A and B are shown apart, each in its own frame.
Chain A
Amino acid sequence: GAVVSQHPSRVICKSGTSVKIECRSLDFQATTMFWYRQFPKQSLMLMATSNEGSKATYEQGVEKDKFLINHASLTLSTLTVTSAHPEDSSFYICSASWHGRETQYFGPGTRLLVL
């Protein structure tokens, strides 16, 4: 149980384009979903927290207009990287939890490369 999927697993795009990453909880209803970013050989950095039906809460330093997060249902959250630039190239990972649970279950991650 507690399976989280992400799509796509990797994406290459041109600078200036937008990229959408989907995160789905497959066997549970995720009341809260989280988006992280990981640079090579570094830790996971929380970008934002989203509760179903509410606006996402962004961490300090994360541009909400650049990283659009939507959590429209209890099983789906999307992260859209708008007007991507090479410095946005990174490994993006989502996680999900359900009401009151401390444990987060992670998706497999999405490798984004912006040329």
Chain B
Amino acid sequence: DQQVKQNSPSLSVQEGRISILNCDYTNSMFDYFLWYKKYPAEGPTFLISISSIKDKNEDGRFTVFLNKSAKHLSLHIVPSQPGDSAVYFCAASESLIMRFGAGTRLTVKP
């Protein structure tokens, strides 16, 4: 069962513009949400997270928004840089058990 969904397999953005990656979930028991960045043949790298009691968390160019009523979260990257090109995984956690979305491949064009 896909409890975490990333419906856009890919996204292409111009350098300097905003990248918005979206994620939806179905399990209302998830209480912690994370975004990971992944390059081919490497493990995911933690980017940013948010607790279910918050609706926004910002860290530099990365901001995660959580809309619990819609069971939706998003990652904003601004300004986007070519080095941001990677696959981004959304993850949701319940009692420390994490479920991942299928990933969105972000390409930032110079």
Is B65 among interface residues, defined by CB-CB distance under 8 A?
no
**B43 contacts A93, C-beta separation under 8 Å:** yes
> Which residue of chain A lies nearest to B103 when distances are taken between CB atoms in the complex?
A43
**Which of B4, B44, B96, B101 interacts with A93 by CB under 8 Å?**
B44
- Minimum CB–CB distance from A73 to chain B (whole Å) comes to 19
**How many chain B residues touch A (Cβ–Cβ < 8 Å)?**
22
Interface majority SS (helix, strand, loop, mixed), chain A: strand
Is B32 among interface residues, defined by CB-CB distance under 8 A?
yes
Interface majority SS (helix, strand, loop, mixed), chain B: strand
Count A-B pairs with CB separation below 8 Å: 50
**A105 contacts B97, C-beta separation under 8 Å:** no
Which size bracket describes the interface of A in this complex? 20 to 34
Can you list 25 A-B pairs with a CB-CB distance of less than 8 A?
A2-B46, A4-B43, A6-B43, A32-B96, A34-B98, A42-B102, A43-B4, A43-B100, A43-B101, A43-B103, A46-B99, A49-B97, A91-B41, A93-B43, A97-B96, A103-B34, A103-B49, A104-B46, A106-B36, A106-B43, A106-B44, A106-B45, A109-B42, A109-B43, A111-B41
